[in-house]
Amino acid sequence: MDSLSEKIKELRNEYSDSELLIEDLNKNPIMQFTNWLDSAIETKIYEPNAMVLATSFEGKPRSRYVLFKNIIEDKLIFYTHYESPKAQEILSNPNVSGIFYWAEIHRQVRFQGLAKKTNKKISDDYFATRPRGGQLSAWASNQSSVIDNREVITNKIEELEKNFSDNEIPRPEFWGGFEIQVNYWEFWQGRKNRTHDRFCYTQKPTGWEIERLSP
């Protein structure tokens, strides 16, 4: 443990000194987010659409990575099993928060908002674009349930493949999208000597209020 502690103490990566000024920010946080996401994609960051999603269960926070898949009517969209713990937690308490972190360009985006199921058409349209293997796995997995071994899933997929044969695979009713209506955004740009630039967007009745935050 002492050796690990020493190794952790020696982790001293310095950030670049790319400044972020208030005049650089788009007045619309969705546009600011898409601009930064596009930069992350162009930089070829591995899975730039990976986001930490935090929910709450009986007053206790729970978080995991999910893949953000779209923006529709200014809402963040992701997909999951509707009977999974995170889905049930959202249906019980729609308040969620999340983070995108792009280490290679020293940027982080944090958000808070309310989540709910998307309409069925959005879920159907996306499911139709998934590779066949991904469609089969959505049917096969009772997400987060305890299983005896991996063969439980692989055998189920083989069975489903035979059942569907060469037919189109429909979206299961227990799988689909959630949309997040964000009411708070925070944009973080890493700077040298930990003097980071941070700005938050808070939704007000008159629009978005932008404020600089201390590092």
Residues annotated as catalytic (active site), given as ranges: 194
Q: How many CB atoms lie within 10 A of CB 86?
A: 24
Give, rounded to a whole angstrom, the gap between the first and last alpha carbons of the chain.
31
Of 12, 27, 86, nearest to 52 (Cα)? 86
Give dist(CA 155, CA 134) in Å, integer: 15
Give the E-state strand segments of 22-59 in sequence order.
Answer: 50-57
What is the secondary structure of 62-103 as a DSSP string?
EEEEEEEEEEETTEEEEEEETTSHHHHHHHH--EEEEEEEEG
Residue environment code for 39-65, b if the CB has 16+ CB neighbours within 10 A, otherwise e: ebeeeebeebeebebbbbeeeeeeeee
